Structure 1
Amino acid sequence: MNFNYIKSLVLILAISITACSSDDDNNSLSGENKLRVEFDNGVNGDDLLLGAATYTNTNGETLTINRFNYIVSNFVLIDAEGNEFTYPKDDSYFVISEENELTEVVLENIPAGKYVALKFGVGVDQEKYQQGAEGQGNFLQIAEDNEMMWSWQAGYKFLNFEGTFTSETVTEPTVFQIHMGSHGSSLDNYREVTLQLPTQALVSDNLSPVVHMAIDANQVLDGQHKIKLSEKAVIMIDEVKSPQISENVNGMFRVDHVHNGDNIQH
């Protein structure tokens, strides 16, 4: 028999064994661990520097951003087979605040798996809000401490975006305030985001992944809907602009990469 032919067969067999071994390793994920989601806030590809930089959008407005806070909630992990793991609802509300350096969400006790997508809400859903003040647990105080409440009766601010701006028609620095939330059932601005992961997030006893999100604050005003501050610099309850801003906010989230850390114990 031809020696090269035999060598090729041996090589193919070795590759097959290695592949099977790799598959076995992936399929043998067991236990549970943490999964971290890091929110890296930026503006149209640049770092977000509160109060220290200016950013110009396609509306011809130049912004200095002094506050960029938002609420994320109701996390769901989706694995390669389409199965969903819903994080416990009472523990699934978080404030992301650039000024207070709250830029990481830690999800505890995630079951082992190969996760390919991440789903979460922006804001607080009606079901949670209707549980009343006592039903909010510690999150109500966290929201108040981070300027994410109007009042209990008025509800949560899902987004608190503030600073100053100038434009062709507004030549002196002028304060802007974009506060987006729900206002009863008639103006429900809670939205869900589903993001595919560029690589699988692997969770097991010794694998604790980090999902790195790249957030673009420019999308708030310069996304699907163009919101001109020169027309209205303070937007809090607006039947037209508030839903448009909520749709823009959905577009500001992107998964940049996933880091699967080895030997990180829960």
Structure 2
Amino acid sequence: MKTIIKLQLLILTLALSVISCSSDDDATQELSGENNLTIEFDNSVNGDDLLLGTSSYTNSNGETLTINRFNYIVSNFVLIDAEGNEYVYPKDDSYFVVSEEEAMNEVVLENIPAGDYVAMRFGVGVDQEKYLQGAEGQGDFLQIAEETEMMWSWQAGYKFLNFEGIFTSATVTEATNFQIHMGSHGSSLDNYKEVTVELPTTALVSESLSPIVHFAVDANEILDGNTKILLSEKAVVMIDEVKSPQIAVNATGMFRVDHVHNGENIEH
């Protein structure tokens, strides 16, 4: 009887071992190959949809804004997996304009290696290394930036953020134009910033899985974020040694991942 029991236990152990190995093999197989990872940017204002030129939004500064333009540059994407390994997206292909008025709200990162990605790091703006490659080193991105109002001139550089509209306040009762253009101006005013976000759900990439990462981007953070920026004090901010760096930091707070879709051809 003991021999039979031992034999049964041995058979059970071997069966569990085979199942375990098979499961591991399946998991490894599921996350093999490469695929695209899509990032969608859904622009809003303090929880409300951003509607250019038609809706008004009041911030905690007591200023009411009608927004006519909301464009920004995102760049230098890095994907971080569950083990802390980083995949750096090819730098020459890693610069994108997100434009509400041009309906440019999707970034596709191509040929991402299979993995279970739990976080993402990216830049807001264009880093000095890229800019110093000269106009010939910018590729097609230079023309895209020019066409979407994200350049002052080549000598003056890129606009990392182009935020425009009209506003009123308790002290500015007549509708007044505002312009917030944030960029870098020489080594003394480098406003390129990086953002790291955690994903609420692991983004799974494999030969058969192409995830969509959905960002909720809050334009309210530009003026109403870490530092309060009063348009009634200065309605046009372009090159300001005090306010421009503050706006650059505020802009990093705009980005939050709302959800992740894992799969292909998912309605969203």
Give yes or no for TM over 0.5: yes
The equivalences for 1:44-83 within 5 A come to 44-83=46-85
- Per-residue displacement from partner, 1:204-232 (whole Å, max 9, x unpaired)? 11100000000000000000000000000
How far apart, CA to CA, are the structure 2 residues paired with 1:56 and 1:17?
Answer: 62
Q: Give the equivalent residue in structure 2 for 1:26.
A: 27
Q: Does 1:162 align with 2:164?
A: yes
Distance apart, 1:27 and its partner CA: 3.0
Preserved contact between residue 93 and residue 139 of structure 1 (Cα < 8 Å): yes
For 1:238, the equivalent position in structure 2 comes to 240
Q: Which position in structure 2 is the counterpart of 1:260?
A: 262
Q: In structure 2, what is the Cα distance between the partners aligned to 1:106 and 1:168? A: 43
TM-score by length of 1: 0.91
Residues 213 and 19 of structure 1, relative CA distance in 2, 3 Å threshold: farther
Q: What are the residue-to-residue correspondences of 1:48-197 with 2, within 5 Å? A: 48-197=50-199
> Secondary structure of 1:121's partner?
strand
Distance 1:261 1:170, change over 3 A: same
Q: Check conservation: 1:35, 1:208, Cα contact below 8 A.
A: yes
TM-score by length of 2: 0.90
Distance between the aligned counterparts of 2:50 and 2:16, measured in 1? 47
CA contact (8 A) 1:207 1:263 kept: no
- Tell which structure's C-alpha radius of gyration is larger: 2
Number of aligned positions between the proteins = 253
Deviation string, structure 1 residues 5-29 (Cα, Å, up to 9, x no partner)? xxxxxxxx99999887665543331
| Separation (CA, whole Å) in 1 of partners of 2:128 and 2:72 | 17
Q: Any unmatched runs of 5+ in structure 2?
A: 1-12
- Alignment equivalent of 1:250, drawn from 241, 249, 252: 252
Q: Structure 1 vs Structure 2: percent identity of aligned residues?
A: 79
Where in structure 1 do 4 or more consecutive aligned residues deviate above 2 Å? 13-28
Cα 1:20–1:132 shift into 2, 3 Å: same
SS at match of 2:98: strand
